[in-house]
Amino acid sequence: MDFSWTPEQGRLYKDILHRVRENISLEQADRFWTRTQWELCGAFGLLGLSVPQHYGGRGYDCLTTALAIEAFGRACPDMGLVFSAAAHLFACCMPLAEHGNEEQKKRWLPGLCSGELIGANAISEPEAGSDVFAMKSRAIRDGASYVLQGVKSYVSNAPVADIFVIYASTEPAHGYLGITAFVVERGTPGLEVSEPFAKMGLTTTPAGQVTLHNCRIPDTNRIGAEGQGAQVFRHSMLWERACLFAAYLGQMDRQLEQTLEFVRSRHQFGQALSKKQAVTHRLADMKLRLEAARLLLYRACWQQALGEDATLAISLSKLAVSEAAIQASLDTLHLHGSKGFNCEAGLERMLRDAIPSTLFSGTSEIQRDIIARELGL
């Protein structure tokens, strides 16, 4: 394994750092990101990193895509925007890029990559969270159409989305083999989207509930064949679990940089905090967790880029990064003392943004289940 980045990858990382730092700022912590910010993400290529170039994307492999997302997470103080962009890319664009037909790709991908369109993925339901394939949503064939019924919960980007990738059962008796994926456009009769709900973290990501009531769509909006929905979703989750969490590597890098600067300048008892062993050991642990998580994530992306089965590596990296992100945030707050506890510094916000990383894209418990299964247990 080559641990070096190519000159092109190095330039990409620096370019994203510069562009995002210069152009995208955190507006207000209690407000959602703006359409202008979204369009900037599109202009910088962040919304189509792994989408083929002839559909408006950048055409990067998994490894390069993760590097770009890490730079985005390091440079952008608004993890809600980073999360929305990554969810849009991996759970909406990539199902179309990998499983859509030519007409679907040409119709939707250019707008999704440019920022003209916003994508959302709707699979979770009130009674189908970790057990997503226990869904009750139905898609009933009616001639050249499907009629969708059901309720989807915790749909990121839903209140502002133009395109929804929605999963529903076409053959309930077949279990997960009866799940099918569809594209539903905003404005389709029978599609209802709730107002955004309040969350403790990722507060600038608008998220809500999607209700399907006799929602009729043409069969040309089906992604892949009937019964392929589980495969479509699992492929999108491999992308998301591998690449989205690189954003938290970027956040941990930013936290470490900020904390090192603070402990060098802050003096207590006539000495800089950076001279206290208790402080330096905690910083050493922060660096250790960051680098260990980074190696696991990039090994997983490397395996996926080679076309290998990266299921085990991806679950290991997702688990390591998400749990390291929470601990790094706690350490950052602790080392900043009362300043860290004060909302004005924005440090507590990073903790709140890190907590959901152990919940979405499969909880830590689900990742441990996957790891155990891959070990033959």
Q: Which residues pair with 216 in a beta bridge?
A: 147
Question: What is the set of domains in the chain, with CATH numbers?
Answer: 7-118 (1.10.540.10), 120-227 (2.40.110.10), 245-374 (1.20.140.10)
Mean pLDDT across 349-357: 96
pLDDT(129) > 80: no
pTM, 2 dp: 0.94
Residue 54 token pair: 């002839």
Report the alpha-carbon angle 154-157-162, nearest 5. 125
User: How confident is the prediction for the chain on average, in pLDDT?
Assistant: 94
- Pick from 171, 161, 162, 146: nearest CA to 222: 146
pLDDT (tens digit per residue) in 24-54: 987 666 688 999 999 999 999 999 999 999 9
pLDDT at 2 over 80: no
Q: Does position 291 have pLDDT exceeding 90, yes or no?
A: yes
The predicted structure's pLDDT at residue 175? 85
> How high is the pLDDT of residue 28?
63
Average pLDDT over residues 242-263: 97
Q: Determine the average pLDDT of the residues in 269-297.
A: 95
Report the pLDDT averaged over residues 262-281.
Answer: 92
- The pLDDT assigned to 257 comes to 97
Q: How confident is the model at residue 179 (pLDDT cuts 50, 70, 90)?
A: very high
- pLDDT at residue 109 is higher than 70: yes
Q: What is the pLDDT of residue 29?
A: 60
Q: How far apart are CA 152 and CA 106, in angstroms?
A: 27
pLDDT of residue 243: 96
Total length of the chain? 377
Q: What percent of the chain has pLDDT over 70?
A: 99
Which residue in 151, 15, 130, 142 sits closest to 71, CA to CA? 15
pLDDT in tens, 52-79: 999 999 999 999 999 999 999 999 999 9
Q: Residue 308 is which amino acid?
A: E
Active site residues: 240
Smallest CA-to-CA distance from 112 within 83, 78, 89 is with 89
pLDDT at 30: 64
Higher pLDDT, 346 or 183: 183
**Which one, of 94, 63, 11, 17, lies nearest residue 294 by Cα?**
63
Write out the two tokens for 134. 């226990």
- Predicted confidence at residue 26, as pLDDT, reads 75
Report residue 176's pLDDT band, with 50, 70 and 90 as the boundaries: confident
Residue-wise pLDDT tens digits, 138-159: 999 999 999 999 999 999 999 9
